[in-house]
Amino acid sequence: MNVRGRLVLVTGASSGIGAATARAFARKGARVLLLARTRSALDAVAAGIVAEGGEADAFPVDVSDAGAVAEVARAILHGHGAPDVVINNAGSGRWLFAEETPPEEAVQMMAVPYFAAFYVTRAFLPAMRARGTGRIVNVTSPAAFAVWPGATAYTVARWAMRGFSEALRADLHGTGIGVTLVTPAAVRSQYFEHNPGTAERLPRIARLFGSLTPEEVADGIVRATERDRHRVFLPFRTRLGVLAHKWFPRPVDWLLIRTGWNRAPLEPA
């Protein structure tokens, strides 16, 4: 898809990957719609884009709230029409063992990214289907392909994003609407500040894959959209890691567990 002149909606656009992705699409000549909860941060991203000569509109919304998503979608459809590209990027969640995770936090981790992506996609699909073109881009994590210890609910939610993408691609076959699943390795965004205690749980073996800037991920998302790609791993060596896990699951699982986070030993009774 040539993104110039297209309408691109980005969730989680107030920070990190989402903000960089909105800026990258705007530089390519797309009009961007920015969704996240923090109005001031969204306004700052939108103002930066406009200052560079781009077009951006901010829509403060909690994307885990189905009613609020439906309402903002109605406003967008009325004011701008159906997006050409919907990027489901909003996400959060600490890395915790199951028994460390408060039940409400486990629910919240499914709410964003997974249910949020479901609500946002569902809200725009009828109009996108009526037009017969478009792309849904979902952002997940390598945890959706190879699992490490100490991040249970986070991992499950990223598998949900992967499952959602594969199911949608099958559902939308022949409709003119494509689906892209983007899987970045560690990204130097504010994710680790927003979700404290997470960075130290990254398995040592995963550090071999290095880390990316949000801008590098954004460029990868733009490229994947332009090239109508189904699945993208960033950087490319992340794909090699995922393939290694597919071909040699036992040794790779062993390495992830051995170099991953360990529980503190139980105090003697």
Ligand X SMILES: NC(=O)c1ccc[n+]([C@@H]2O[C@H](COP(=O)([O-])OP(=O)(O)OC[C@H]3O[C@@H](n4cnc5c(N)ncnc54)[C@H](OP(=O)(O)O)[C@@H]3O)[C@@H](O)[C@H]2O)c1
User: Is 134 near ligand X (CB under 6 A)?
Assistant: no
Q: Which residue has the tokens 């071999």?
A: 208
**The dihedral sign for the CA sequence 26, 32, 38, 40:** positive
**The dihedral sign for the CA sequence 46, 42, 91, 72:** negative
Question: 16 vs 54, which CB is nearer to ligand X?
Answer: 16
* Span 96-125, contacts to ligand X by CB under 6 A: 112-113
Lay out the site mask for ligand X across 6-45 (x = CB under 6 A, - = otherwise). -----xxxxxxxx-----------------xxx--x----
* Span 49-68, contacts to ligand X by CB under 6 A: 62-64
Helix (H) or strand (E) holding 135: strand 134-139
# binding residues, ligand X (CB under 6 A):
30
**Residue 114 bears catalytic tag:** no
The residue of the chain with the least Cβ separation from ligand X equals 91
Instruction: Quote the tokens at residue 262.
Output: 């360990």
* Span 165-204, contacts to ligand X by CB under 6 A: 184, 186-187, 189-191, 194
Least separation in angstroms between residue 27's CB and ligand X is 18
Least separation in angstroms between residue 226's CB and ligand X is 20
Tell me whether strands 31-36 and 55-60 are parallel, antiparallel or unpaired. Answer: parallel
Q: Which of 114, 119, 154, 191 is catalytic?
A: 154
Q: Are 31 and 56 in contact (CB under 8 A)?
A: yes
With vertex at residue 186, the alpha carbon angle to CA 185 and CA 188, rounded to the nearest 5 degrees, is 135
**The dihedral sign for the CA sequence 156, 162, 163, 165:** positive
Determine the Cα–Cα distance for residues 131 and 66; give it in Å rounded to an integer.
24
**Short-list 59, 56, 1, 63, CA closest to 23:** 56
User: Is 239 near ligand X (CB under 6 A)?
Assistant: no
Question: 176 vs 240, which CB is nearer to ligand X?
Answer: 240
Question: 21 vs 28, which CB is nearer to ligand X?
Answer: 21
User: Is 215 near ligand X (CB under 6 A)?
Assistant: no
Task: For residue 243, give every residue at least 6 positions away whose Cβ sits within 8 Å of its Cβ, in sequence order, or none.
Answer: none
Q: Are 242 and 233 in contact (CB under 8 A)?
A: yes
Q: Which of 3, 26, 139, 146 binds ligand X (CB under 6 A)?
A: 139
Active site residues: 154
Binding residues for ligand X, per CB under 6 A?
11-18, 36-38, 41, 62-64, 89-92, 112-113, 139, 141, 184, 186-187, 189-191, 194
